[in-house]
Amino acid sequence: MVDTEQIRRSALEHLWMNDRDWVQMAEEGGPLVIVEGNGIRVTDSDGREWIDANGGYLSVNAGYGRTEIAEAMRDQMSKLIYFPQGSTTEPLVNLAAKIAEITPGDLERSWPVTGGSEANETAIKIARAYHKRRGEGGRYKIISRRGSYHGALGAVLWAGGGGMREDYEPEYPGMLLAPQPDPYRCERGGSTPSECAVRCAQAIEELILFHGPQTVAAVLAEPVSASSAAAVPGDEYWPLVRQICDRYGVLLIADEVINGFGRTGKMFASEHWDLVPDIMTMAKGLTSSYLPVANAIVTTRVADAFAGEDSVFKQSLTFGGHPVTAAAALKNIEILETEDMVGNSTRVGAHFLEQLESLQTDHPSIGDVRGIGLLLGIEFVQDRETKKPFSPDSGFGTRLDEALKEQGLILRSAGGRTISMGPPLCMTEGDTDEVTARLDRAIGIAEKGL
């Protein structure tokens, strides 16, 4: 048996957790210590079962408890645990070939790293170096979208704007912000998803022209914004952005760190719009988080700029391309394909979305329900007509978080503004019904305090 209190005391004394304050965590009786998982469910050190409706960090795509992945890791470790300098390994080469096979268009050459932040940082470096090798060294600016999140390192920390960055100023130079194509809260005033899509795409062109195409290196964006609680852009958006980037020689980086590996009902969310980015980043679902691994893959055109001794891409990471993580990734992709988890994401996600939409009838606090595949979001409002969000003083977010915990759901409400959900892709329709029922009760409890 796990001594829960001893583990918690030790955690509170020594562990620095993601975006958590150990003083508040202690007052809340945390941290929660998880000891076991299977499918979409996990068990804590006190024996209580929870539904992880967020799949880790929207990342446990294949679900918990897949011993096949653990076996693949063990088999590789028994043969080779690392590689000598200047060499490579069979699993890594096979993984790079597999990623080239399943990604859209002519994305064909991979630079493996260990996490989504590193993947996006690498993509920005590739974009800037690409232009420099083409004699356009003045192209260094990166356009991202307000309210997005692309990582916590270097330049990517400043992509998307928003909070969490004040402690790390001054801002990284050359980071520009475009509007988020969120049909529910369209910054450009679009009254329909299509109108919002067109106006937000045009805003990117305006930014390029204002700053000068000769200064802009790339546009970095998620095909579907997980940071905005699964805001799905209108269908016009991505074809227009692709055309704009091509018109001005700007590279397009698709951040598929969350979107990828079946999350949205396609292997990659870019496929919903037949989008072929110049660079695609991936992480999370690449191994379903069984081991830390990520990747940046580029098209043949981009890769060719780095061919030859004088054009080598100057970056070296000790754990990028680790053979054990590559073996885990290969087995994970095999599971996603053979068990049709991508198709399951489409089917079950559609059912889940319908169930969540049904909650709007009974809960006036729900302003919007949205998503695609098993990337879903709920946005809460104080008033549906004005779309006014709840203030922190209302206590709605605190009550909702407490109620979600009471219902055995591992979810947080972002201060009562939104709930994002990215459950494991092995989720069943019955699971979605259960999660919906628990959400129904939790939201009802939170609303009673208003």
Domain ranges of the chain: 32-65+340-448, 68-338
Rounded mean pLDDT, 348-369: 97
Mean pLDDT of 165-174: 88
294 vs 13, which has greater pLDDT?
A: 294
d(CA 69, CA 74): 9
- For residue 286, the Cα-to-chain-centroid distance in whole angstroms is 12
How far apart are the C-alpha atoms of 103 and 192, rounded to whole Å?
31
Q: Which CATH class is domain 32-65+340-448?
A: alpha beta
336, two tokens: 């996603």
**Segment 367-377 mean pLDDT:** 98
Whole-angstrom distance, CA of residue 176 vs CA of residue 153: 17
* Residue 60 scores a pLDDT above 80: yes
Q: How many CB atoms within 10 Å of residue 32?
A: 18
pLDDT tens, position by position, 71-105: 999 999 999 999 999 999 999 999 999 999 999 99
Contact present, 413 and 394 (Cβ < 8 Å): no
Q: Cis peptide leading into 364, omega within 30 of 0?
A: no
Q: Tell me, what amino acid is at 369?
A: V
* Whether the Cβ atoms of residue 168 and residue 224 lie closer than 8 Å to each other: no
pLDDT band for position 167 (cuts 50, 70, 90): confident
Report whether the peptide linkage leading into residue 223 is cis, meaning its omega lies within 30 degrees of zero.
Answer: no
Q: Domain spanning 68-338 has what CATH number? A: 3.40.640.10
Q: Does the pLDDT at position 45 exceed 90?
A: yes
Percentage with pLDDT > 90 across the chain: 89
The reply to whether domains 32-65+340-448 and 68-338 share a CATH topology is: no
- Count of CB atoms situated within 10 Å of the CB of 162: 13
pTM of the model: 0.96
Average pLDDT, the chain: 96
